[in-house]
Structure 1
Amino acid sequence: MVLPVREFSASGYRSLQRIHYPMSRLDVFVGANGVGKSNLYRALELLRAAAANTLGEEVARESLNLALWAGPHKGGGPRCIRLSVGFSEPDRLEVSYRYEVEIGYSPPGAAVLPFEPQIKTESLTYLSGQRRVRLLDRDGPSLMARDPDGRPVKIDIDLLHSETALSGLQDPSRYPVLDLVRRTLLAWRFYHDLRTDPDSPMRKPCVAVAAPTLASDGANLAAVFATLATIRQDTVDLDRMIDRAFPGVRLDELEAGRDISFSLSFPEFPHRVFEPSEISDGTLRFLGLAGALMAYRLPPFIALNEPESSLHPDLMQPLAEMVRMAAKRTQVWLVTHSERLAKAIEATGDGMVRTVIKKNGATTIEGLTLLGTFRDEDD
């Protein structure tokens, strides 16, 4: 079991001074260059990094100085980045669990590497009506978690300053909810680097092992297609979307040995097939997105950053259809510059299209209040 995500918050991160967003089944974000759309996407990636125990590394790679909100700072305390995500149980709409993490500068004299960020605080809270129960509570080196009987217990664990307790307490029998939240976050997939250059992983054969989900870099694309053809024995929707995008083009039978690859047949060249190395960048990118959105088993949450890159405008309609179909099976978060793609998705009636803007240097979303509701919905 994995948990649906119901809300997302970020403050102090790049242009995200403070934002609290209520998640839906399909969220689409449009806006001008430089308004911070990618920062929203990146903040979600950092939440997954907390589960993978790479949060400190990811922030250090960006440079904490550059990752921190550069605008006015109120409160007088040290600057820090705060991220949180709220999950519900599968049969509920209300938030059942909220994970929060705060990262900032290490204190003077701490035994850390130069410029290494520190996990300041971390918590996992159970919510039921007015009831709030901390299942995990970390404040610097101090760590508390509830035992299987629900009693708060001080935990003695060797965590480095940049390591998360979410990744460190890996005992499903003692901390089942913590394990569930971690597994849910680790199952998220982010697709923004589906490369189409000559050395793209999508152009290379992959190991012939069933692949229910596309890798973030698309390296197992051929195996994803083969899994649909062999395990599900159904490529009708995939074939239909390829034909809709490129009329008459057919995904050929996949050649499988120890490795597996795919090829395409084009109607104007009936006597030969085209290997991935011969396929145009736009065609390959569309096939990669098809693998991400139409795989045998979709992750519980898919984030797409500018999927329209390298695609002809005429492909926005079939791409919108694939996004709509995926949102029937999972949650989708999509950031795009393409008004055409956003309008095509909005026309399906299945997605919420939001406009990202900047106010006084801070990223926000039109109509979004600080409480995480929209003014038009409140009215």
Structure 2
Amino acid sequence: MLLRSMFAQNYRSLRSIRMDLSGINLFIGENGVGKSNLYRALQLIQAATRGRLAHEIAAEGGMFSALWSGPRRDGERSFRIRLETELLDEERAITFRYRVEAGLRPVTMMKRAGPAIAVRGPNGRMQDYPEQALPSETAIALLGDAGHYPEIGTFRRAIDGWRFFHGFRTDRLSQLRAPCLAVTAPLLDEDGNNIAAVFATLVHTREDTVDLDRAIVAALGGARLVVPLPEETAQFGLSFPEFPNRVFQPRELSDGQVRFLGLAAALMSYRLPPLIALNEPEASLHPDMLPPLADMIADAAQSSQIWIVTHSEPLAAAVRERCGARARHVVRQDGATWIEGMRLTGVIDEDE
């Protein structure tokens, strides 16, 4: 299911912005222009489908922290955050649209009034849902799990599958450096705590690591990934050409090496998520690692939609060379986050 467009209004630096999206979406801009708020808006839509919208807004400091931070027009006293997304099921030619609003009044989701929810039943008529929602719950989270509304469940599962890799810890206590339970791991957790199981699944279940091995060789000086057959835990290490008889454990690797392996697990796992969002993936990476990273992004884009926020012009250029995706330059316009060259309709003029 392809994320075709998004809309955000009155959220932090996003006064009102609508964007058409493609297979690869690359955002670049200076600090403080609001790149991360675009990324975060998608996360809030996912949180709504999981029933955690209230929790996420509270974690940001509450509504007053999450609301539009720029100047208000005359007569404006309060705002409601509005987030909207559109997904296209290309196989069935079905378009799903979902809008969530949050403000200082009760949140309305679908047909909701306070705890009461109305939903369209099999007969095509609106009917009362038998359960009542708690103030902190969203209607789509309840209905998506109910088992009686396939369209809502399909939409919720699609968004629930998105993965946001905001940044991997690479310090000595990082989960990327630790063994994990030896269970099949088709995709990487957002904090990377199952990375060893992801590699073990590729090596011992899929038995095909040609692309992964090529990326590691290119980025890490000819290194080879070593993944023992898991017993109680899954583990991995690296073997380097200059030390052929020794396997270096994750705790011995540099921050950049560990971070690249985390990105490799995110982009080359056994089963990729429908949307992979990377926030400043170039952090801690040596410049020589950027072309192999761009190669992995291009490979992942064959089956997943990609969202990248970066400061790196070389990475943006490498992704464009491999995928043809132009960087969208994020700027401030009248105090609000905006995309350079984008019309009010969300269409970006390719000549800009």
TM-score normalised by length of structure 2: 0.95
Residue in structure 2 matched with residue 71 of structure 1 by the alignment: 70
Match of 2:244 among 270, 275, 290: 270
Residue in structure 2 matched with residue 122 of structure 1 by the alignment: 109
- Work out whether residues 31 and 356 of structure 1, in 8 Å CA contact, stay in contact via their aligned partners in 2: yes
- Work out whether residues 255 and 262 of structure 1, in 8 Å CA contact, stay in contact via their aligned partners in 2: no
**Structure 1 residues 71 and 92: alpha-carbon distance in aligned structure 2, compared to 1, 3 A threshold:** farther
Residue in structure 2 matched with residue 157 of structure 1 by the alignment: 131
- Work out whether residues 204 and 229 of structure 2, in 8 Å CA contact, stay in contact via their aligned partners in 1: no
- Work out whether residues 117 and 133 of structure 2, in 8 Å CA contact, stay in contact via their aligned partners in 1: no
Residue in structure 1 matched with residue 48 of structure 2 by the alignment: 50
- Work out whether residues 170 and 259 of structure 2, in 8 Å CA contact, stay in contact via their aligned partners in 1: yes
SS in 2 for 1:231: helix
Q: How many residue pairs were aligned? A: 350
SS in 2 for 1:223: helix
Determine the C-alpha separation between the residues in 1 that align with 2:156 and 2:18: 21
| 1:142 shift after superposition | 4.7
In the alignment, structure 1 residue 61 sits paired with structure 2 residue 59: yes
Deviations 1:76-104 (A, max 9, x none): 463111111101122377x7110100011
**Structure 1 residues 357 and 182: alpha-carbon distance in aligned structure 2, compared to 1, 3 A threshold:** same
| 1:351 shift after superposition | 2.3
1:346-361 alignment to 2 at 5 Å? Answer: 346-361=320-335
Residue in structure 2 matched with residue 113 of structure 1 by the alignment: none
TM-score normalised by length of structure 1: 0.88
Q: Which amino acid aligns with 2:109?
A: E
Residue in structure 1 matched with residue 14 of structure 2 by the alignment: 16
- Work out whether residues 244 and 318 of structure 1, in 8 Å CA contact, stay in contact via their aligned partners in 2: yes
1:277-296 alignment to 2 at 5 Å? Answer: 277-296=251-270
Determine the C-alpha separation between the residues in 2 that align with 1:181 and 1:78: 31
Q: Which runs of 5+ in 2 are unaligned?
A: none
Determine the C-alpha separation between the residues in 1 that align with 2:39 and 2:145: 30
In the alignment, structure 1 residue 87 sits paired with structure 2 residue 87: yes
- Work out whether residues 86 and 99 of structure 1, in 8 Å CA contact, stay in contact via their aligned partners in 2: yes
In the alignment, structure 1 residue 197 sits paired with structure 2 residue 195: no
SS in 2 for 1:225: helix
Determine the C-alpha separation between the residues in 2 that align with 1:42 and 1:8: 12
SS in 1 for 2:6: strand
Determine the C-alpha separation between the residues in 1 that align with 2:13 and 2:287: 30
Determine the C-alpha separation between the residues in 2 that align with 1:199 and 1:97: 41
Match of 1:27 among 17, 25, 28: 25
- Work out whether residues 214 and 224 of structure 1, in 8 Å CA contact, stay in contact via their aligned partners in 2: yes
Residue in structure 1 matched with residue 312 of structure 2 by the alignment: 338
| 1:49 shift after superposition | 0.6
| 1:361 shift after superposition | 1.2
- Work out whether residues 181 and 233 of structure 2, in 8 Å CA contact, stay in contact via their aligned partners in 1: yes
Q: Identity percentage over the alignment?
A: 49
- Work out whether residues 73 and 79 of structure 1, in 8 Å CA contact, stay in contact via their aligned partners in 2: no
Determine the C-alpha separation between the residues in 1 that align with 2:327 and 2:112: 37
Residue in structure 2 matched with residue 111 of structure 1 by the alignment: none
Determine the C-alpha separation between the residues in 2 that align with 1:253 and 1:171: 37
